[in-house]
Structure 1
Amino acid sequence: MIKKFLLTMCLLAALAVGGFLYVKQSVTDFIAQPLKIEQPHLVTVERGNNLNTIISKFVDDQWINPTQFSTLVRRFHPNLTQIKVGTFEVLPGMTFEQALNTIINGKEYQLAITFIEGSTFKEWREQFKQAEYLEHETDGLTEAEIARQLGIEHDKLEGLFLAETYHYSVGDSDLDILKRAHRKLDVILEQSWASRQDKLPLKNSYEALILASIIEKETSVPSERERVAAVFVNRLNKRMRLQTDPTVIYGMGDRYDGNIRKKDLREATPYNTYVIDGLPPTPIAMPGKASILAAMNPENSNYLYFVASGTGGHVFSKNLRDHNRAVQQYLRQLRSKK
């Protein structure tokens, strides 16, 4: 009788151990299965979600096969319960366990938006519309309304943001990026203004920003920026009009079709520096740091004119006669290429 009892107990114990090992192995196989995805996917974990929530999502999306033992994952693998809030990227080839570890240990998925130096605020707004996973809080707002949201005193926002690449997370907004871009611009602008040359014909850092935006649009050659700045500073000191085409183009707005005609140069817009004296009322683009520094610290030279060289840079002149010669040379080069 005792032997029969002991045999029964041994059998039950064996069944229990076997059942335990079977369940444990089933759970191990469950988290070891590869994800059934063929391209990267984003997984957003919201506040209040837990391991069971994530398992249900992966099963519902048919990224993994279900198991009746899914609720036991936390018992056998407690290290997989520390789910973080955020958005994470899972990749083809990952196992479910690797995907969970990405959510637990990985960095939140970052997107990026790049603004080119010399771009305009209008172009920025178009880029925002195309940006993935970005909340559009500025849609339908005027520039003045956006300025108030940002605490900016100017109604027109041109030039008031630093053009560079900004990383953001899912759920961030265009307003968040604008705040960061404005703060970065402010830091560079004020630092540059504090270390500017003496006796510049600029009343404040905002006027320096206007000049920097013109420099940005006039040349993309790094070695020319200080010399271009010198031309405009020299002209301002001599009370000569700046006569720079990018300001004319900006003043034309959507009417600009790629050509500037004589009537455009004579048109009285607030930005036409062939007509107005001094600087235009606002920047005409988003300048980069190098152009801001050039505006504050122009080259020490007597140049008053420049024209495209036809080879990627510009020819600088100290008097109108030499400038006219350079213009004629440039026109000959253009005709020779036709």
Structure 2
Amino acid sequence: MHTLGDIAKTINAKLVGDSNIEITGVASSLYANQTQLTYIINSKYKQTLIHSKAGVVILNKDLLINCPTNALVVDNVYLAFAKATHLFKKQTVFYQGIHPSAKINNAKIAPNCIIGKNVAIGNHCIIASNVVIEDNVTIGNYALIQPNVSILQGCSIGDNIVISPGVVIGSEGFGNAQDQQKHWHSIAHLGYVVIGNNVSIGANTTIDRGTIEDTQIHNGVRIDNLVHIAHNVIIEQDSAIAATVTIGGSCTLGKRCMVGGGATITSHVNLADDIIITGASTVDKNLSEQGRYTGFTSISKHQKWKKIQVWLLNLDKIVHYLNIKLKKLKEK
């Protein structure tokens, strides 16, 4: 818990409001309540700001007139938000063995495991050697967690889950803000990872925790080896992800999607239900109609690549146009 005065000093902001108000955490602009901090990056989100119920909003001076609550006014909103998140990050405490507060029921736990404070493990679970389960993690019934898995603080895992060796769940997401000198400042990721029932996760896969809200893996999902799932991704029920796929931050995959090996889904992309992505494809836009999709071209300078893409995507129209022209020439 921090006062607005303390937060303003940390992020070098001008405070418009009561410096003694206490803030307990961070939330998205849509859901922040009167004890939470949020941020508005630009005027695109002005209506969200106008209706904000947050205790304080980090914003720039141009948006101050629209702010109905306390404000922290800065030049670089994203950088200020990055600095503010670290005030609310829970520090990891490492223990030896099993913490006395952990509820392990009848789980079979192999040697050299570390199980943190307030961990809850369901019935009939098997925890192999060298597994690390940090504070406040919950695990359902009939989980099989194989060697060298790390499940980091606050994450939640359902029933009948299989987690293969080397998996990391709840690692810090890749979020950074630059200052005027082009130095990077990390964003503390304060969300968790929530995994449903009947999920399997392949070896050495990493699933990052959410920035503010949670990364979600829904019931029945199958994830192969060496997959990277970034912060705030949502993978819906019964989807399957093959090996070495990369899914960028804040993507949503609908129900029963299948993603072939080596594919890349760039950040902020949404896939509808029943989408199939061919292996090695790159998905860089929303797909709203079910079906099979393929997309990859050879690498080139970005501006040249954009021109090539325009031609490729309109090739059928160009051919149709040329055929009409050719027909007219033959008729002369």
Same fold (TM over 0.5): no
- Counting helix residues as a fraction of each chain, which structure ranks higher? 1
Decide which structure has the larger Cα Rg and report it.
Answer: 1
Greater RCO, 1 or 2 (C-alpha within 8 Å, sep 6+): 1
Shorter-chain-normalised TM-score: which range? under 0.3
TM-score by length of 2: 0.24
TM-score by length of 1: 0.23
